[in-house]
Amino acid sequence: MRYVDAGYAVALSTLFVYALSLILRRRRWERAYRATTPPADPQSAAGRGERS
């Protein structure tokens, strides 16, 4: 059974780690996108005290 258990453990843990890395990468890029993109609505930027 140890080969079977190892097979299941390797498959599930690899997919879990890869999925987690994708979530973290996606969040990092979303932060970078928000930081580099000006707000769509200039009113909201002005409302927050930013220069529009």
Partner 1 sequence: MSTVPRVGPRPRWLDPIGVLGVVALGLTVWLGLWITPPDRTQGDLARLLYIHPPIATVALYWVGIVAAGGSLLYLWPRTRSLFWDRLAASAVEVGAVFSALTLVTGSLWGRPAWGTWWTWDARLTSTALLLILEIGYLALRRVPADAAVRAKRCAVAALLIAVDIPLVHFSVDWWNTLHQGGTFIDPGFQIHASASMSWTFLVGLVAFSLIFVWLLGERYRIEVLQDAVGDQLLEVSLAERWSEDAALVGAGAPTAAGGPGHGEGSP
Binding site for partner 1 (CB under 8 A): 1, 3-4, 6-8, 10-12, 14-15, 18-19, 22-23, 25-26, 29-30, 32-33, 36-38, 40
CB of 12 to partner 1, least distance (A): 7
Indicate left, alpha or beta for 24 from its phi (over 0: left) and psi (-120 to 50: alpha): alpha
- The residue among 26 and 46 lying less far from partner 1, judged by its C-beta, is 26
Using an 8 Å Cβ cutoff, are 52 and 45 in contact? yes
Question: Which CB sits closer to partner 1, 5 or 49?
Answer: 5
Phi-psi region at 49: left, alpha or beta (left = phi > 0; alpha = psi -120 to 50):
left
